[in-house]
Structures are given as C-alpha cells and as structure tokens.
Amino acid sequence: MLTSIRVFSEGPPDSFGLTPLGETLRTAAPDSVRNFTVTETAPGHWLPWGKLLKSVRSGQPMAREALGMELFEWYAQDPEEAGFFNAAMGNFSALAASELVRVYNFSTVQTVMDVGGAHGVLLAAVLHANPNARGILFDLPHVIAPAGDAIAAEGRSKRVELVSGDFFEEVPPGADLHLLKQIVHDWDDERVTRLLAACHRALNPAGTVLS
C-alpha cells in the first residue's frame, strides 16, 4: 500500500527502498515529518479526527468529546505523546526559521518572545541571526520543563529566559516582538481575543506581534 502512494519503491525480489517522500519519515532527515506523523496517528489527534463529520455539522471542536479533556490537557498527562507533538512543532519551526530570518528585519528588536514556542527552535534561529538580541521562551509548564536542555544544546542559555504559564491569562512583559507561530489557528475567537489582549498588555511600547 505504501508503495502505491510512493512512500516506498519496490524491486525484485520483494525488496523495498525509500523514495524521496519516504525519506521525510527518517528522524535525521533535514525536512523530517516523522514526529508529525506519529503525532497525527496518536490518540490525541487520531480520536478527534474520528469525529470530523460531527464537528463539521455542529461547528464545534471534538477534542473534549473524544478525549474527555482539551488537547493540551491531554498532553500534560501524557509526556510521551506530548514529546512527539513538541518535536513535530520543532521540525516545523526549523523549516520556517530560515525563511523568517530572511524576510523579516529583526535588527531593531532587543528582546523577542516566542509565545507557545515549545523547545525554542524558532527562537534559537532568530537569536542566531541577531547576535545582539535576547529571547524569552514562553509555554506551558510541562513544555518548558525539558526545554532548558534544548536551549543549552544550542549554546544560548545565557541569552534565553524560560518562563511557563497560561497565555490566555498573562504573557510575561519585556519583549519588543512576540512570535506566535501556529498558535492562533488552534483556538476559537473568544480565546484568540484573550491571547492577543494578553500580548498587547505585555508588549513594550510600539511592540509587534508576528503571527
């Protein structure tokens, strides 16, 4: 089946190899989607997708009905599945980072905050391209707890402050720029309004939200 959709190639006698598409499922591939594939087929995403028809008909998200709780509450109780999700977000950040630092001028930014930034892959790229800037990595407590090792591995511990909390309630002050990558689309209008209001309160004067 996977050969039919070109994930594998098949040769005689009954041997298989990776195609360019299949290569993206390797952990070490530069454009790896392995963690995302694991995330999408794990219960946190898979079970709500099973209620897609009901979601379309009702206009309501199905995570709570399928899981008994919101998705990020689920991840807080399942570190292994949360690890794959956070790694997947890091993979996506790595793909976006080089283009972001190419097209956006960070030269006047002194402090940049990655809001919901997982393990700080995007923030690390921004700081690498802007050696005079410092960063704040902000996410839920169970996400921030292991993020220090990832930041240390990048050699940026002295330039990055790790802060945990709930961005619907309060965002740490002190940044000139807030990065919200793949954040806003997760929430309904009411919660997005609360999130953006929290960013507005926390930003330095004339600060910017980049989403």
pLDDT by residue (tens digit) across 7-62? 999 988 889 999 999 999 999 888 899 999 999 999 999 999 999 999 999 999 99
pLDDT at 187 over 80: yes
Give, to the nearest 10 degrees, the angle between helix 34-41 and helix 79-103: 140
Which member of 119, 142, 185, 200 is catalytic? 185
pLDDT by residue (tens digit) across 138-174? 999 988 888 888 788 777 788 999 999 999 999 999 9
Distance (Å, rounded) from C-alpha 49 to C-alpha 65?
A: 11
% pLDDT > 70, the chain = 100
Of 73-82, 95-104, 105-114, 195-204, the range with the lowest mean pLDDT is 95-104
- For the question of residue 185 being annotated catalytic, the response is yes
Q: Which among 116, 119, 118 has a CA at the least distance from the CA of 179? A: 116
Cβ contacts of residue 4 below 8 Å, gap of 6+?
none
- Give yes or no for a cis peptide into 61 (omega within 30° of 0): no
Q: Which among 71, 5, 3 has a CA at the least distance from the CA of 40? A: 71
Considering just the CA atoms, what is the radius of gyration of the chain in Å?
A: 19
- Other CB atoms within 10 A of residue 80 CB: 9
Task: Return the pLDDT at 162.
Answer: 94
Domains of the chain with bracketed CATH: 41-210 (3.40.50.150)
DSSP, res 11: E
Task: Return the pLDDT at 67.
Answer: 96
- Other CB atoms within 10 A of residue 140 CB: 18
Q: Which among 184, 171, 192 has a CA at the least distance from the CA of 210? A: 184
Distance (Å, rounded) from C-alpha 79 to C-alpha 210?
A: 29
